[in-house]
Structure 1
């Protein structure tokens, strides 16, 4: 175990909602008040949701000390993956953490959403560097959830954190994966832990045209153009005098009805999904492209 302070293990916490977000603050309160860990914090200085595993390249990062009781904490100008990389490098802290915890995210991270998640990337970055890690997400629902639910979620996950640290101490934990944990909306009445697999559920997104800020709120459909052609035609798009503004919107959803992370979460379980960094195709696709590639070679 790390020697950050006595025999207590050292955990480093990051997230993607930013260092001031209620999820990470609730997690830190529970970790510190348990008196079981040395706690480091290296989290983004602002919200970095849905940045996936992006990193800062060829530009300096800035780390500012932050006062969070019971911790050594820094707010960093980078992404969650940046924060983890910097936090485990011994550039900020005197020791390498035994475990990296990313979260608690405001919103679940199941199915294909895992690919977009900065929270999951914070844990994945530690895994890529040989350090055990967990990403934690709470299934926040507006009108039902309250800030206190983050504290309940952190308390519900404490046995998982302690259990994994026990395995790390004994050097018996699997090193070919990290854990993605989702906590149900009604966390006070959760049904216990459930080992699950990543499913294929995702929200289908589209785009809508919105008002241009540079036009002072004027709708883009009334912009001055050099042609009367309808918006969307090639000639119009190449002759616009002003930039266009678009915003994502939800168009629908793709739900995986099998016994996977999303459905188990909806049933009220705390889902625990082991993840790796590689995404191999299924055997059927491998067989298809093996035959296809042989044909391409003959062309």
Structure 2
């Protein structure tokens, strides 16, 4: 696709922010974020987001076939819905092939549900920011800890019932972070060795402040149950295991079921692992958590110590004398 005319009027005195997500370009979290960014009149706003819901796809990319980009009307922004993953959207959006300039900052979100601990691994929202980081562009992923009364039936911590309006409040709470990042980028002081993962508490209007945190190991225990082809499944989001969104019934799954295949649905089996002094703990305490992340996932120091002694023994055990 040619990028001529992709952005008709650009104020080059303003920094450019590109927004993506994994909930899809029509998601209320993304629309609220874009609306707030535009309303400040301090940013040029681009949007390059999946044309449909792509939660929990992690950092998958489209490799074997082309993807399409369709212009979407969003007031105050230049927006495209893309038939790819969040990582695809970021990659395309910062490439110069779709937009005439490279954004100064990529913001991925606002996600429907928090992304802390090990759930960061599954998150398409975080992957949208990570892809920008891999391309040396400052980025931040943003998630809102959506809660509903449905969670009380699953023994999840409930901080109050959320509403769509909370996404606007969450977006407003992110403006100081976004503005400060761009100021540091302009002054060439912003670190290049990480990107930020921001999670906003359920009661965002009463948040306790911004807290620098570290990624913990929190994760919901999930399993599988066999279901019939007529069972209406529930889709689990990367962190809050959202029970509101319905899982689409795929035609090929229905066909498999009619041919005798077994159909399985993922389900939540237990509560989260809770740690002190980590992203999830501070989020549940009411803070806006700000967690620096990188692409590398180093193992615990104890693992390196163990394998330093273990690896030489592998050679000994595979030698003929050891058999």
With normalisation by structure 1, the TM-score equals: 0.89
Q: Give yes or no for contact 1:112–1:199 (8 Å, CA) kept in 2.
A: yes
1:35 maps to 2:53: no
Q: What SS does structure 2 have at the residue aligned with 1:254? A: coil
RMSD: 1.3
Q: What SS does structure 2 have at the residue aligned with 1:292? A: helix
Indicate the residue corresponding to 1:280 in structure 2.
298
Q: What SS does structure 2 have at the residue aligned with 1:157? A: helix
Q: CA separation in 2, counterparts of 1:198 and 1:241?
A: 44
Q: 1:75 aligns with which of 81, 88, 91?
A: 81
Q: Could you list the runs of 5+ residues in structure 2 that have no partner in the other structure?
A: 1-8, 150-160, 232-257, 318-323
Indicate the residue corresponding to 1:63 in structure 2.
69
Q: Give yes or no for contact 1:107–1:139 (8 Å, CA) kept in 2.
A: yes
1:251 maps to 2:246: no
Q: Give yes or no for contact 2:116–2:215 (8 Å, CA) kept in 1.
A: yes
1:44 maps to 2:50: yes
1:185 maps to 2:202: yes
Output one character per residue of 1:31-70: Cα deviation in whole Å (capped at 9) or x when no partner.
0000000010000000000000000011110100001011
Q: CA separation in 2, counterparts of 1:61 and 1:14?
A: 16
Indicate the residue corresponding to 1:297 in structure 2.
315
1:270 maps to 2:282: no
Q: CA separation in 2, counterparts of 1:53 and 1:8?
A: 30
Q: CA separation in 2, counterparts of 1:102 and 1:211?
A: 36
Q: Give yes or no for contact 1:4–1:95 (8 Å, CA) kept in 2.
A: no
Q: Give yes or no for contact 1:53–1:81 (8 Å, CA) kept in 2.
A: yes
Q: CA separation in 2, counterparts of 1:48 and 1:21?
A: 11
Structure 1 residues 1-299: aligned runs within 5 Å: 4-143=10-149, 144-212=161-229, 242-299=260-317
Q: Cα distance, 1:241 vs. partner? A: 5.6
Q: CA separation in 1, counterparts of 2:167 and 2:33?
A: 7
Q: CA separation in 2, counterparts of 1:162 and 1:121?
A: 22
Q: Give yes or no for contact 1:212–1:244 (8 Å, CA) kept in 2.
A: no
With normalisation by structure 2, the TM-score equals: 0.82
Q: Give yes or no for contact 1:200–1:254 (8 Å, CA) kept in 2.
A: no
Indicate the residue corresponding to 1:225 in structure 2.
none
Q: CA separation in 1, counterparts of 2:301 and 2:66?
A: 43
Q: Give yes or no for contact 1:197–1:274 (8 Å, CA) kept in 2.
A: yes
Q: Cα distance, 1:212 vs. partner? A: 2.0
4+ residue segments displaced more than 4 Å = none
Aligned length: 272
Structure 1 or 2, whichever has the larger Rg, is: 1
